[in-house]
């Protein structure tokens, strides 16, 4: 099970996630997110993770090409274009700049459910409000869960990740609110508990 911990802003939390066994760490750089990282915070996470985990720049309100240039400038491994702001042409524009782009979306947007449909390496299916900690009805994926490198997110936590994995059998899982004590406040204890539960699932 591939495990991504999202919304990190410190080297300590990145190291905690990686030591626990996480495969990816996400840094959110939306203007409006409670988890918005500065360039220096992003660099600290990247430096702590280099060679040990995929570093993922997550955006939902930055033009795709600018986001891709930001990912390249800061040294991220992956760009995650998240949500309704991005269409197929945005993915093409980003892929001109960086080789690895992930597509994060939700079923209410009626997205293509084939991994790679817009050139992405990984498809992430999330709740309609990303980073909200809200769950969504995974049974909506009955008979149409994607194949291949796709992740589930949205209201996951150490307590429910196993149930989610059993329900939809994803390639990977992604979490943010479920490893926090308050919006934007990551907990090392919860990060460890989530990674351990996900790896056991
Ligand atoms: O985390 C945010 O604030 C955020 C804002 C806008 C777009 C994406 C955002 N996060 C993306 C993630 O990858 C989250 O891990 C994912 O949405 C799951 O969030 P949560 O339900 O809080 O675990």
- Residue-wise pLDDT tens digits, 70-116: 999 999 999 999 999 999 999 999 999 999 999 999 999 999 999 99
Q: Do the interacting molecules here have an ipTM over 0.85?
A: yes
- pTM of this prediction? 0.97
174 in contact with ligand 1, CB cutoff 6 A? yes
Taking each helix axis from N to C terminus, what angle separates 188-200 and 11-20, rounded to the nearest 10 degrees? Answer: 30
Domains and CATH numbers, the chain: 2-200 (3.20.20.70)
172 in contact with ligand 1, CB cutoff 6 A? no
Q: Are 112 and 86 in contact (CB under 8 A)?
A: no
**Which of 172, 180, 133 lies closest to 154, judged by CA?**
133
Taking the CA of residue 177 as reference, the ligand 1 atom at the shortest distance is: 22
How far apart are the C-alpha atoms of 87 and 65, rounded to whole Å? Answer: 12
By CB neighbour count within 10 A (0-12 exposed, 13-18 middle, 19+ buried), where does 195 fall?
buried
How far apart are the C-alpha atoms of 10 and 61, rounded to whole Å? Answer: 22
């Amino acid at each position: 099970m591939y495990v991504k911990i999202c919304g990190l802003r410190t080297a300590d939390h990145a190291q905690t996630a990686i030591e626990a066994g996480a495969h990816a760490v996400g840094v959110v750089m939306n203007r409006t997110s409670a988890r918005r990282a500065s360039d220096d915070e992003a660099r600290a996470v990247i430096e702590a993770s280099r060679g040990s985990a995929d570093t993922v720049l997550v955006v939902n309100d930055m033009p795709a090409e600018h986001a891709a240039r930001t990912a390249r400038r800061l040294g991220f491994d992956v760009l995650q274009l998240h949500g309704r702001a991005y269409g197929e042409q945005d993915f093409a524009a980003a892929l001109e700049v960086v080789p690895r782009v992930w597509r994060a979306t939700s079923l209410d947007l009626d997205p293509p459910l084939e991994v790679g449909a817009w050139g992405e390496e990984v498809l992430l299916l999330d709740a309609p409000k990303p980073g909200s900690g809200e769950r969504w009805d995974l049974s909506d994926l009955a008979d149409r869960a994607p194949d291949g490198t796709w992740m589930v997110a949205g209201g996951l936590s150490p307590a429910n990740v196993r149930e989610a994995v059993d329900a939809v059998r994803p390639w990977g899982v992604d979490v943010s609110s479920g490893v926090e004590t308050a919006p934007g406040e990551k907990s090392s204890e919860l990060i460890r508990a989530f990674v351990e539960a996900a790896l056991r699932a």
